[in-house]
A and B are shown apart, each in its own frame.
Chain A
């Protein structure tokens, strides 16, 4: 699905990612954990193609294509989705209109016919149920006046509507109460399939109580310093990050 090799990224001359290599195969769910400032969100933004992030070295292949050559909208159309840590409000733009524009942009790029309003509405009704939202939700302006939980559920709604191949969830769990967390986790779990992959970026092990990751990676100072399975996440939860730091220091 995606293969990142020896990736170096700078933001305004400051090096944030220092040689990341990661391969995610179809059907896999990878978790990336780490402290604030370790480079987690930078990785997410680079994959999605945000402007101010400068790749100084390395490569990213997305289903065989060179991801770094693609415009952000073309990455999205090719099936890469980012659930934003801080979803942006677009006042005055109806949530349904926005989502329909997105769906049709993806369809158009595939040479498919645009979906009409009636078909779209019946499709979206099904999806709304999956994230436990009522219909009034899609008639509100995009993320405008949404609570933190609503914003995150909206991201998941967009994900399951756009049906991407690779979903990157950037701290989708932060700021959620336990009920919202369960809904978000369920939304993701129901969406998992052998041909869809996920990169879940998180601070806490908490959401992993509701998900089954295949791999867990620890990001520290711009590098993946340790990889493992669910057990690694549990260890971090129990002991924090300092023991890994010590390990890294010893190895160096």
Chain B
């Protein structure tokens, strides 16, 4: 099998790189107390939230960017970023009031916001740059008692819930990017599932960066009350640009007694071009707290986009018998870099966690799995199973694995497996010999490799994920 063909079969263009031409209100670049006050004022936030933001900001000023990750990039000038950008035409309750250009944008992305045309069973919150422009199926959800709304709306409509849970999983001072987000976050999604309710449809947020020279700092907070259940999906894309753009989000999940949250992400931010120019810096903090007994939080992520991904969706297993899961597929091609993994912190008795990580590196892509499993003294009979597999396509890419294990209770049972393999010339030749072309063979092998993760995704997402792998690796997948 010639390297040329492999190279050809992994070269594909980004299909979501268009830009929407609309008038936007965008803050001039720069960050100080006044910018934060201005964001807070636009959102008509209560005093306590403004103070929370300012505290985070002042803490952030004394922090420095983390340097432990296995990624390389030029320093970010935080004063050259604009921290707020919103479409001029005000969005409100009804679709008629949204700029048609924006509706068209989402239709082009395959996310029609018109409920009639939407895929059944999925409610969408559409976040465009710094604001939520539409949330669908709100009424249907309301009947079930489910709250699904833009974050800024939750601040005014459900202040008691926001105040109680905001920052309770990811404190405002948690890390450099989380602190920055806490200071300047503009919008995002808020979800509350009341006691005993099984959310009647899947909830989804679709993030779109459009404006140039802005950062997107959204915040998602999901609370699943006792014995409730929710499936949440997240997708994201951005235009192709030569400069790097920063996306620093925070996601907090809280699962109370017997509650279950399944959070799936298909991350397809613009990855930069074939020479490594442009692309999103995706520096995200995602964490879930299994606070209640027998609660369960499951993260599934398919990371194919971004120039740099720095992301570790984690679970704090506080409640006895709680379960944390992390299923990940990450693909780095061309000059993409990813340092991703998870943390499972076992605190309660009989807590269990499972980590399945699949990394695919092609081109000059560099990929790191970084995972920590911590068994605290109180976590009697905790169990963890970790499996980290990497596959290399071509000979210019890299895969690295850093598992950290910290066990403070001798009753813990830990299993760890890791493999790294080249996409075998033997495998490709075997497929070729059966009449299957090289590009189809690459897709086939990669999809087989990712199967354990793809099967965790909801049906529609699994299809999208496979399509994405096609885009990133080209070739037919079925």
Which of A's residues lie within 8 Å of B, judged by CB?
48-51, 71-73, 75-77, 81-82, 84, 87-88, 90-93, 97-99, 101-102, 105-106, 109, 141-142, 158, 162
Contact = CB atoms under 8 A, between A and B. Distances in A.
11 contacts: A49-B432, A51-B1, A72-B432, A73-B432, A76-B434, A91-B448, A92-B448, A98-B444, A101-B440, A102-B431, A105-B440
Interface in B406-459: 424-427, 429-438, 440, 444-445, 447-452
Interface string B332-352: 000000000000000000000
B2 interface: yes
B478 A71 contact: no
Contact of B427 (A88, A141, A162): A88
A88 B424 contact: yes
B450 A82 contact: no
Between B430, B434, B437, B438, the greatest number of chain A beta carbons within 10 A of the residue's beta carbon is seen for B434
Interface string B312-340: 00000000000000000000000000000
Contacts of A91: 448-449
Chain B interface residue bracket vs A: 20 to 34
Contacts, number: 80
A76 B426 CA distance: 16
Contact of B435 (A51, A73, A84, A88): A73
Contacts of B430: 84, 87-88, 90
Given A72-B432, A90-B445, A101-B444, A51 B2 contact: yes
B435 A106 contact: yes
Contacts of B2: 51
B435 A76 contact: yes
A76 B435 CA distance: 5
A79 to B, nearest CB: 10
Main secondary structure of the interface of B (DSSP, over half): helix
A88 B435 CA distance: 15
A90 to B, nearest CB: 6
Nearest to A81: B433
A93 B445 contact: yes
B433 A77 contact: no
A17 to B, nearest CB: 19
Nearest to A97: B478
Contacts of A87: 430
A142 B427 CA distance: 11
A220 to B, nearest CB: 27
B320 to A, nearest CB: 35
Contacts of B437: 73, 105
Contact of A92 (B432, B436, B452): B452
Nearest to B444: A93
Nearest to B424: A88
A162 B431 CA distance: 13
A105 B436 contact: yes
Nearest to A45: B429
A142 B434 CA distance: 13
Between B435, B438, B450, the greatest number of chain A beta carbons within 10 A of the residue's beta carbon is seen for B435
Contacts of A106: 435
A76 B444 contact: no
